[in-house]
Structure 1
Amino acid sequence: MYSHLRLSGLASGIDTDEMVRSLMQAERIKVDKVEQERQILLWRQEAYNSINKDFVNFILNTRKNFGITSVTSRGTFRPNSYRNLSWVKKATSSDENIALVSTTAQAMDSNYKVNVKRLADGVSMASGGKVFQGEDGISLGDDGILRDGEDQTIKILEFTINGKLIEISKDSGITMGDVVNKINSMDDIGVRASYDSGIGRFFLQTTTTGEEAKINIGVTTDIGREFIEGLDLYVNHYEYEGEEVVGKTGDKLTLEDGEGKTYRGSDALIDFSGAKDISFGSNRITINGITMDLIGTGEFTITVATDVDGVYDKIKEFIDEYNELVDKTNKLLKENRYRDYRPLTQEQKKAMEKEEIELWEEKAKSGLLRNDDIIQRTMLNIRQSLYEKSDEFSGPFSLLTEIGISTESYTQGSAGGKLVIDEKKLKEAIAQDPEGVMEFLFKESVPESKDKDGNVIPGELGGLVSRIYDGLMAGMEDIIKKSGPGEDADLFRDVKFNILLDFVTEQGSISMLDRDVIQYDRRIYDLNAMLIRKENSYYARFTAMERAISRMNQQSMWLMQQFMGQ
C-alpha cells in the first residue's frame, strides 16, 4: 500500500527531490541524444521537401511562362505542342478596323491578303414595342404577374424554342422573370433571353453565330400563342430559306399553325491568300496557325514574321531560372556542416533568448544535404543529358552548342552545370530556322518501353527543356521515396500525374526517413519508460533510507527515554 510513498528527507534532512533530479539528468542524456538524432532527421526531411518544392515550382513556373497548359500523365510535352505557342511568331494587321490578328509557331513567315465579305452573325429578336399592349389577350399586372384575357392569373405556360418544350408552372402566378429564368436554364436550346421592365421589352439572342445558330418558336396551347404574339417580337437579323434579310425594323415574328419560321444566323465569308469564299460559323477564324478576330468587312493584309527577340527572351528567361536552381542546389551541396551545433534540448532552450535559439538552429540545420547523393545525381544526370547527341530531330540541330547554348565548366565552380548563352549564335539560329530551334528545345521525350514479347523498345531523347524537366522529375521521385511529398502532393501531381504511384504502391506512402523517425520514436518511448523505472528506483531507495533512519531515530528516542527514566 505504501510502496510508492515518497518521503522527501523528513528523517535525514536531505533534499531527496534535488538528489533524484541530479541523478536523472545524467540518465536523461541518453534520451536527449536520441531525440537530437530524431530532430536532425526531421530537419533533413524539411530540407529535402524544400528543394523538391523548388524543383516543382521551377517546372510549373517555366511551363506557365512558355504558355504550355497541357502535358501527358508522365509530365512530358504532347506531340508538337510547341507549334501552338503564341510568342514565336508575330502577326500584324494592316487594318485593325477589319480584323485583329495573332499567330502561333506553326504559321509560315509571309504576307497574306484577306478579303472579309461578310461577318458571322447570330439571330436576335426584340419586342417592337412594350409587351402585351393589345386590348384583348394577355396583360401584365402591376404586380408583374401575367393575366389572361379574363384577368385570371396565368399559372401554366407552354411554348417551344428550337423544338424544346418550355414549360412553366407556378401556383402564385407567372412573371416575365420566370419566363427568362426558364429559357436561360435550358442550355441545349442555344438561346438566351432577357427582359427590361423599365422599357417593357423582351429580347432573345442565339448563344452562337453562323448558320447553325437558329431560333424557331412554336406554340402548343392557345395561351402559349397569345403569350408569344403579345411579346410583339421582331427579327433583327436572319437568313430565311437561304436569303439574307436585314432591315431597320426586321421581320415581325408570325406563327403559322402554331409553328414559326426557323431563322438562322449567317456564316462569315472570306477570301484568304488565294482561297475563295471560305465560310466560318464564327468571327474568330484560325487558318494555318493565324487567328483573325473579324470586326468589319473589307480587304487587309496580315504580315507574319518570326519574333527573334521575343523567342530569345523566352529562352533566356528559362535558362536564367534554371541557373538560379543550379546555384541553389550547389549551395546545398557545399553548405558547411557545424557538427558541434546539435539540436537544442528543452532545458537548453529555457536558458536562451529567442534570437539566440534562432541563430543556433540556423547553424544546426546547415549542411544537412551536403554532398547529398540524390541531388548530386539529379543535377549530374541533367548535365550529361544536355550534351547527348540525338538524330531524332527533323531539323538541322542535334547538339546544344549548335544553337549557341553550352554548359559552364567545372573550373568556374558550377557543380551542377549552369547554362551559358551565345546571344549572337542563338539569335542567328532562331532567325534561320525557328521551327528547328523550337523542336530542339521542346520536342517531347519518349521513355524506353517493351513490346508484348518483352523486347526492349529504345526511348527517344527530347529537346533541351524536356531533358531538364525529365531529369528533375526523376530526382523528385527519388526525393519522394527518401523523404515523402510533404504537404505538396497536389503540386507534384500538377507536374506529373502519376509521380506518386511508385511511392504509394511500393512503399505504402511511408518514406525511408519516415521509417527512421518511427524507429527513433520507439527508442525514445523505450528510453522514457526506462527513465520512469529508474526514477522510481531512486525514490524507492531514498524512501527506504528515510524509513531506516526514521526507525533508528525512534529507537534512539526510546533508549533515551529508558535511560532518563532510571
Structure 2
Amino acid sequence: MYISGGSSGNYITGMASGMDVDTMVKELMDAERIPYDNYEIEKQYYEWQLEAYQESAGTISDFQTTYFDFLNPSTNMLSSSTYESYNYVYSSDGVSAVVTNSNISNSHYSLEVDQLATSAVASSDQSVSASINAANTVDYGGLDNQMITVTLDGYEKEVTIMDMDGSTDISLNDIQLVMDEAFGSGKILVEENGGKLGFDTATDSGCHELILEGDLTALGFVTDKVSNRLDVTDSLKDLNLKTPMTFDEDGMVNMKINGVDLEFSEDASLDYVMKTISEKADVKMTYNALSDEIMIETNQTGSGKTLSFSETGSNLLDAFSMTTVQAGQDLTCYVDGEKLVRSENTFETDGVVFSVTEVGSVDVDISFDSDQLFDTIVKFVDDYNTMVTDFQDTLKEERDYDYKPLTYAQKESMSDEEIELWESQAKVGLLDSDDLLEDMLEEMRRALYMPVEGCSLTLAEIGITTDGYESGSKLVIDEDKLKSAIETSSDEIVELFTKPSESYPGTTSARSLTSDEKAVRQSEEGLMYRLYDVTEKYISSTSDSMGNKGILIEKCGYKDDYSELNSTMYQQLQGMEDNLLRMEEDLEEKETNYYMEFSAMETYISSMNSQLQMIQSWFV
C-alpha cells in the first residue's frame, strides 16, 4: 500500500529555504492520489459485490442440494418416492412391509408363514473349550491371603484366599468357600485331581465364562490369566480346547471350504482365522462365548446353499467339533392364499416388499399417508419462500452513496468498531435491482405456473398460488384445498411435481439443448424438474456442450473454489489489482520527482547564499 511523504530522508528538505518541504510534498501528493483512492474504492466495492454474488450462489446451491439431489432421497423433490409415504399396521411383529410401487392393488394382505429361509450352517456339536486346569500341583501353603481377580460372566471381583472353614491350613474347601462367598454357591466349581486344581462353572448354574487373573503360581498355573472360554486373540496352538489341536509336519492347517483352499500357521490367531475364512469362502465364521461354540454359515439363504469341508494333515474341524452340516432351506409362505417359495425372507409381490422374521400368521394393512405428502409440500414451499424472500430483500436494498468503501488512509484514523459500522452500511445495496438475480427469480416464477403438458392439474388447482410480485412472488398455500386435492388426486399431484420430459428426459441434458428443445422440455416436465433446470442454468459447476458453467458461476464462481479463479469478476479484480500496483508505482515516482525538484532548489539557493556572503565580505 502506497503512503506518501515517506522518502524525504534521501534529499535536502528546507535547510536553505526554510520551507516545510515534507508538508508541501504531502499536499501535492494528496491531490495526485485522488484517482488512486477513487480506484481503490471502486475495487473494494467490486470485491464486495463478488462476495455477495457468491453468497447468492451458495444459497441457491444449498436449496438445490436439499431438494434436487438423488443422494438426499428423503427430500429429493425430483423423485416420486419422496411424495409417497404409507402407514402400516401389523397384527404381529413377524413381518414388515415397504411399498415400492404406488399402484398396489390391495390395502390388506394376509400372510401365512410355514417355514423361514435359512443359511446352511455348521456349528460345534458341543462346547469346545476345556475347563481351567492347572499345569502344576497346588501350593496350599503359599495361598494364605493370596489375592486374585475373578470374573464371572463379565462381573469382576477381587477375592482373597483365606481360611474359611476354621482349620489351620488353606484347603480345597477354603478355595471353594471363597468362590461361594464372592459369587454365591453353586456357580463356580473347584476340584482337585492328582494335586492339580480345576475351575469351571457348575452345570446348569446359568453361569458360563470364568476368568482368573493375577499371581496364579501357587494355584498351579504358569500364566497370569486363565479362562474356560476361548480367547480369539490366542494362536491356534495356544487355544484351551477340549480336543487338542494338531497340525501337519510343517505346523500348518490345510483345509478347503466350499472349494476354497485355505492354509493357516499354528501361530495364527483364531480371530485372524475366522476373518480370513469369512472373507475368502463367502461365509460367516463366529465364536459364541456364551454357548462356547464355533459356527460357520453361508451368507445367502435358501435350499440351494450348502457347506462342504475337507482337511488334510490337521484337525481344526474336529477340534471345533464341527462334524455335521445343516443344509439351507427356502421360505415357504402364503400371501392371500397364494403359495410362495423364495430363497430369502425378503420378497416383493404386487409392488410391496415383505420381510418375514417368524413362522405364523400375520395381517398387514397399508394406507396412503396423506399427512406426510402435505408436510412434504409445505416444507418445500416454506424453504422456497425463504429463499425468494431473501433474494427480494437483497434486490430491494438501496445503496447509500454517502457510505463508500474506506481508503487505507481513512482507516488509519478510525477505530476497528468505527470501521466495522461504516463498512456494514457501505455494503447495503450491493445487488440493488440486479438484473441477473431478477431474471432468475422471474424464471422460477414462470416455471411454477406454466401448465405441465399431459398433466390434469396446475399448482393453483391444488391450492398453491402466488402472493403478488411486490411480495416477491412467494407461494401461498390454501391448506384445506391442498389437503382435499391430496385425498382425491395424490397421483396427479406427484405427476405435476415429478413428471420427466418424454422428449428430453434426465437431469443433465437441459443446458446443452437448443432454445427450441429447451422449450419442449420445459412444457413436458413437472414443476420440480423445471426449477431444477433454472437452478442449473445459473449455478451449475459442470460445463455444458459449449464449455460454459452456470451463468452466475461464470460471473463469480463458488467461494474458495477453482471456479472462482476462472470467473469474470475474479479476473476483473485481478486486473484492477494490477492497475493499482501500477498507479502506486507512478505515485512513488511522482513523489520522488517532487523531492528531487525541491532538493535541486535547495542546492541552488544554498549556492546563491554562498555567493552573496562572499560578495558581502568584499565590502567589509
Please give the TM-score of this superposition, normalised by the length of structure 1: 0.77
Deviation at 1:211, TM superposition (A): 3.6
1:156-305 correspondence runs (5 A): 156-169=252-265, 173-186=267-280, 189-195=281-287, 201-211=293-303, 213-219=305-311, 221-223=312-314, 226-233=315-322, 252-253=323-324, 264-281=327-344, 283-305=345-367
1:21-170 correspondence runs (5 A): 21-63=26-68, 68=73, 77=78, 81-82=79-80, 84-85=81-82, 87-95=84-92, 97-104=93-100, 106=102, 108=104, 110-129=107-126, 131=128, 144-146=235-237, 155-169=251-265
**Alignment partner of 1:536 is 2:609:** no
Q: Which position in structure 2 is the counterpart of 1:471?
A: 534
Q: Which position in structure 1 is the counterpart of 2:194?
A: none
**Alignment partner of 1:423 is 2:514:** no
Deviation at 1:441, TM superposition (A): 1.4
Work out whether residues 98 and 297 of structure 1, in 8 Å CA contact, stay in contact via their aligned partners in 2: yes
Alpha-carbon displacement from aligned partner over 1:376-429 (angstroms, at most 9, x marks no partner) = 111111212222123333xx32x222222222223xx223x2112222222122
Q: Which position in structure 2 is the counterpart of 1:383?
A: 445
- Structure 1 residue matching 2:551: 3-state secondary structure: helix
CA separation of 1:107 and 1:335: change in aligned 2, threshold 3 A: same
Q: Which position in structure 2 is the counterpart of 1:406?
A: 465
- Structure 2 residue matching 1:549: 3-state secondary structure: helix
Q: Which position in structure 2 is the counterpart of 1:485?
A: 558
Work out whether residues 190 and 213 of structure 1, in 8 Å CA contact, stay in contact via their aligned partners in 2: no
CA separation of 1:300 and 1:165: change in aligned 2, threshold 3 A: same
Work out whether residues 337 and 368 of structure 1, in 8 Å CA contact, stay in contact via their aligned partners in 2: yes
Letter in 2 for 1:469: Y
Please give the TM-score of this superposition, normalised by the length of structure 2: 0.71
Structure 1 Cα separation of the partners of residues 353 and 41 of structure 2 = 63
Structure 2 Cα separation of the partners of residues 105 and 150 of structure 1 = 57
Letter in 1 for 2:604: A
Work out whether residues 119 and 301 of structure 2, in 8 Å CA contact, stay in contact via their aligned partners in 1: yes
- Structure 1 residue matching 2:433: 3-state secondary structure: coil
Structure 2 Cα separation of the partners of residues 91 and 294 of structure 1 = 15
Work out whether residues 90 and 102 of structure 1, in 8 Å CA contact, stay in contact via their aligned partners in 2: no
**Alignment partner of 1:438 is 2:438:** no
Structure 1 Cα separation of the partners of residues 251 and 42 of structure 2 = 78
Structure 2 Cα separation of the partners of residues 427 and 179 of structure 1 = 60
CA separation of 1:374 and 1:232: change in aligned 2, threshold 3 A: same
Work out whether residues 67 and 75 of structure 2, in 8 Å CA contact, stay in contact via their aligned partners in 1: no
CA separation of 1:10 and 1:155: change in aligned 2, threshold 3 A: farther
Alpha-carbon displacement from aligned partner over 1:466-506 (angstroms, at most 9, x marks no partner) = 222222222322111221222367xxxxxxxxxx8xx9xxx
Deviates more, 1:58-67 or 1:466-475: 58-67
- Structure 1 residue matching 2:33: 3-state secondary structure: helix
Q: Which position in structure 1 is the counterpart of 2:374?
A: 312
CA separation of 1:92 and 1:143: change in aligned 2, threshold 3 A: closer
Structure 2 Cα separation of the partners of residues 510 and 428 of structure 1 = 50
Deviation at 1:328, TM superposition (A): 0.8
Q: Which position in structure 1 is the counterpart of 2:143?
A: none
CA separation of 1:550 and 1:190: change in aligned 2, threshold 3 A: same
- Structure 2 residue matching 1:215: 3-state secondary structure: coil
Work out whether residues 90 and 103 of structure 1, in 8 Å CA contact, stay in contact via their aligned partners in 2: no
Structure 2 Cα separation of the partners of residues 541 and 525 of structure 1 = 24
CA separation of 1:222 and 1:8: change in aligned 2, threshold 3 A: same
Letter in 2 for 1:265: G
Q: Which position in structure 2 is the counterpart of 1:248?
A: none
Q: Which position in structure 1 is the counterpart of 2:136?
A: none
- Structure 2 residue matching 1:277: 3-state secondary structure: strand
Work out whether residues 75 and 82 of structure 2, in 8 Å CA contact, stay in contact via their aligned partners in 1: no
- Structure 2 residue matching 1:276: 3-state secondary structure: strand
- Structure 1 residue matching 2:300: 3-state secondary structure: coil
**Alignment partner of 1:328 is 2:328:** no
Deviation at 1:49, TM superposition (A): 0.9
Letter in 2 for 1:400: L
CA separation of 1:290 and 1:176: change in aligned 2, threshold 3 A: same
Letter in 2 for 1:515: Q
1:537-552 correspondence runs (5 A): 537-552=593-608
Work out whether residues 94 and 362 of structure 2, in 8 Å CA contact, stay in contact via their aligned partners in 1: yes
Letter in 2 for 1:303: D
Structure 2 Cα separation of the partners of residues 5 and 288 of structure 1 = 94
Work out whether residues 92 and 101 of structure 1, in 8 Å CA contact, stay in contact via their aligned partners in 2: no
- Structure 2 residue matching 1:433: 3-state secondary structure: helix
Deviation at 1:319, TM superposition (A): 0.6
Alpha-carbon displacement from aligned partner over 1:136-186 (angstroms, at most 9, x marks no partner) = xxxx9997452898899964322122211112357xx33323322422443
CA separation of 1:149 and 1:414: change in aligned 2, threshold 3 A: closer
Structure 2 Cα separation of the partners of residues 198 and 299 of structure 1 = 32
CA separation of 1:300 and 1:154: change in aligned 2, threshold 3 A: same
- Structure 2 residue matching 1:342: 3-state secondary structure: coil
CA separation of 1:9 and 1:308: change in aligned 2, threshold 3 A: same
RMSD in angstroms over aligned alpha carbons? 3.5
**Structure whose CA Rg is larger:** 2
Work out whether residues 11 and 595 of structure 2, in 8 Å CA contact, stay in contact via their aligned partners in 1: yes
- Structure 1 residue matching 2:262: 3-state secondary structure: strand
Deviation at 1:12, TM superposition (A): 3.3
Unaligned stretches of 5+ in structure 2?
1-7, 131-229, 239-243, 540-549
Q: Which position in structure 2 is the counterpart of 1:492?
A: none
- Structure 2 residue matching 1:37: 3-state secondary structure: helix
Report how many residues are paired.
Answer: 488
CA separation of 1:280 and 1:426: change in aligned 2, threshold 3 A: farther
Deviation at 1:286, TM superposition (A): 3.4
Letter in 1 for 2:383: E
Deviation at 1:68, TM superposition (A): 2.6
Structure 1 Cα separation of the partners of residues 334 and 291 of structure 2 = 42
Alpha-carbon displacement from aligned partner over 1:174-202 (angstroms, at most 9, x marks no partner) = 3323322422443xx22122346898643
Alpha-carbon displacement from aligned partner over 1:190-237 (angstroms, at most 9, x marks no partner) = 212234689864332333333454422223x322xx22222211xxxx
Quick one: percent identity of the two aligned structures?
Answer: 29
Structure 1 Cα separation of the partners of residues 264 and 246 of structure 2 = 20
Work out whether residues 83 and 494 of structure 2, in 8 Å CA contact, stay in contact via their aligned partners in 1: no
CA separation of 1:131 and 1:50: change in aligned 2, threshold 3 A: same
CA separation of 1:159 and 1:50: change in aligned 2, threshold 3 A: same
Work out whether residues 68 and 532 of structure 2, in 8 Å CA contact, stay in contact via their aligned partners in 1: no
Structure 1 Cα separation of the partners of residues 538 and 256 of structure 2 = 61
Deviates more, 1:45-54 or 1:148-157: 148-157
Letter in 2 for 1:229: D
Structure 1 Cα separation of the partners of residues 527 and 515 of structure 2 = 28
Q: Which position in structure 2 is the counterpart of 1:361?
A: 423
Structure 2 Cα separation of the partners of residues 322 and 128 of structure 1 = 64
1:546-561 correspondence runs (5 A): 546-559=602-615
Work out whether residues 101 and 293 of structure 1, in 8 Å CA contact, stay in contact via their aligned partners in 2: yes
Structure 2 Cα separation of the partners of residues 44 and 91 of structure 1 = 53
CA separation of 1:65 and 1:336: change in aligned 2, threshold 3 A: farther
Deviation at 1:13, TM superposition (A): 3.6
Deviation at 1:316, TM superposition (A): 0.7
CA separation of 1:41 and 1:445: change in aligned 2, threshold 3 A: farther
Structure 1 Cα separation of the partners of residues 441 and 295 of structure 2 = 63
